[in-house]
């Protein structure tokens, strides 16, 4: 039997999705607890959120037979999901809500669909940069900003090490491109 056709694989998928959902819920619940003045309970939820996130990573690795997807893979998949939600899924949900007289909910679906389309565009841009090897180097000189200390440099490539704080190149992004 192929692993991906097994009940064990289906169980791993279910466990992965459950851990993802609980991780997000615990993050939200922690915020709620802190807003209500229960800092200690919020902190407990934060710990459980991190635990559940780690459990999701364990299951994802097993689903992929020992490895995690590459950044290029995750960017491509994420862009496709965001575009699907923005172009189709949430538009359909908005139409249904509108037909049923829930115009405020229809407006929310349409608003979030637009946000997801923006996410899709940003992810597509990042994907293109990764596959072309242009995340930290561009064909023309650019301004680069260190996300750790705020140092701004001009050049074809971000510096390998920030000359101000010593953080590696991975802490640089193009100046003026803060994701929204």
Domains of the chain, residue spans: 3-63, 71-132, 137-174
Mean pLDDT estimate for the chain:
97
pLDDT tens digits along 113-167: 999 999 999 999 999 999 999 999 999 999 999 999 999 999 999 999 999 999 9
Give a three-class secondary structure readout of 100-146: CCCHHHHHHHHHHHHHHHHHHHHHHHHHHHHHHCCCCEEEEEEEEEE
Q: Is the pLDDT assigned to residue 178 strictly greater than 90?
A: no
Identify the band that residue 48 occupies on the pLDDT scale cut at 50, 70 and 90. very high
Q: What percent of the chain has pLDDT over 70?
A: 99
Give this prediction's pTM: 0.86
**Record: fold of 137-174:** Rubrerythrin, domain 2 (2.20.28)
- Write the class of the CATH domain 71-132: mainly alpha
């Amino acid at each position: 039997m192929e692993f991906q056709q097994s009940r064990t694989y289906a169980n791993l998928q279910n466990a992965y999705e459950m851990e993802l959902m609980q991780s997000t819920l615990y993050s939200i619940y922690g915020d709620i607890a802190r807003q209500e003045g229960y800092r200690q309970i919020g902190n407990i939820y934060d710990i459980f959120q991190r635990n559940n996130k780690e459990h999701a990573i364990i299951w994802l690795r097993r689903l992929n037979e020992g490895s995690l997807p590459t950044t290029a893979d995750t960017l491509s998949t994420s862009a496709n999901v965001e575009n699907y939600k923005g172009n189709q899924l949430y538009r359909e949900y908005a139409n249904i809500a509108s037909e049923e007289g829930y115009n405020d909910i229809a407006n929310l679906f349409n608003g979030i669909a637009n946000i997801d389309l923006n996410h899709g565009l940003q992810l597509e841009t990042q994907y293109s940069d990764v596959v072309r090897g242009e995340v930290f180097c561009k064909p023309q000189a650019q301004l680069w900003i260190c996300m750790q200390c705020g140092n701004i440099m001009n050049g074809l490539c971000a510096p390998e090490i920030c000359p101000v704080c010593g953080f590696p190149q991975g802490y640089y992004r193009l100046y003026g491109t803060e994701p929204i």
